[in-house]
Amino acid sequence: MRKVLAWIVVVLLIAVPLAGAGVFSWVQAQDPETLAPKPVAVLQQPTAVRDDGKTDATITATLKAGLTVTAPAWQGGVVTRMDVTPGTPVSTGTPLLAIDGVTRIAAATPSPFYRALATGDKGEDVKSLESALGAMGLFKGTANQAYDEATAGAVKKLEKRIGVPGEPTGAFDPLWMVWLPSEGLEAQTVNAAVNQAAPTQGSPIFSTAPSVENIAIAGKTGGLDFQSGAYILGQSGADVATIRSESDVNLDLIGKLKAQDESGPAGGSTDPAASRTYAVSLRRETAVTLLSVPSSAVMTGRDGSVTCVYGKNGPEDTTYQAKPVTVAGGSLGVTHLEPTDGLRDFYVLADPLAVMQETPSCR
């Protein structure tokens, strides 16, 4: 009898756990969520953090090709002096170079001079010549289309100024002047040199630097909001400038930067017109206080126009409520929110998707 009782006890010790395991497995197979561990609601108030908003940004500069000033039809000769050098400002009357001792000067006129002129000639080119001579202080009258004694007298003064050999004649030689497409140019590269042959017709004498047609700066999320304050712009770990408005992103600024293709305006690019891209960093000049929450707590409405967090006004509240928020950055797993009324003391639900019975959505 004792042996029978002992065997019964052994069987029960084995069978009961097996039966329990079998029931658990059957229930779990029928409804896996019934026996799954319930998620724990984690509520926490946002953490105040100081944030300088540091981010990467890109400056894009669209460049316009520089101007090239070319030689007229000089008939041979040797360059005996160079007056224009890189950085020289050039306007009407500026000496550029001397060929066989005769100075050739710049003239910004509506079109290049194409013919010799003398007393009695008429035309728009006469008027242009008188205007140019007036800009040089040689012609005192009112420019018109008639080449008269006053014009001839001014040309004689020009001959003496530029070193034309012999007695002044008062007749104008168009090869004395080099046409400028506009006033106020600045030479960047010079293509003539002393003791070399005079540049042939159409050859460059000097060229100007490319100019900037448009400069734009954008952060990762688009344009910058200067209403919230100034930014410190840096590159390669060094601060470069403080920018307080879009107008501060200009040619002077990009002249201090290195383009991604290493050929910005100061980089010696031979491309006459192109876009240059500059990778920079930005941070706020004055850091702001933001509120940090787990990224899993931040929800977005179906249309993407509203962002919110769920939580309670106090840990004893029985229901969750949505509170609209504005995202202002963050890092891996952490989102920074702009402070709003009541948000600092709000108990934020860390993972509403896992805890709430119905799918939460910002309304």
255 close to 270: Cβ distance less than 8 angstroms: no
- Give the global pTM: 0.55
| pLDDT for res 54 | 86
| pLDDT for res 266 | 42
How many angstroms separate the CA atoms of 23 and 101, rounded?
A: 113
- Segment 16-70, tens digit of pLDDT: 455 555 544 554 555 555 555 667 889 999 999 998 888 899 999 887 888 999 9
- Segment 250-304, tens digit of pLDDT: 888 988 999 886 544 444 444 545 788 999 999 999 988 999 999 999 998 877 7
Which DSSP string corresponds to 114-166?
A: -S-B-TT-BSHHHHHHHHHHHHTT---S---SB--HHHHHHHHHHHHHHT-SS
How many angstroms separate the CA atoms of 97 and 119, rounded?
A: 28
DSSP state of 201: T
How many angstroms separate the CA atoms of 136 and 130, rounded?
A: 10
How many angstroms separate the CA atoms of 38 and 58, rounded?
A: 47
CA distances from residue 286 to 100, 226, 227, 326 in whole angstroms, order as listed = 64, 12, 13, 20
| Amino acid making up residue 36 | A
Instruction: Give pairs for 147-153: CB < 8 Å, separation 24+.
Output: 147/117, 147/118, 147/119, 147/120, 147/121, 147/122, 147/172, 148/119, 149/119, 151/119, 151/126, 152/118, 152/119
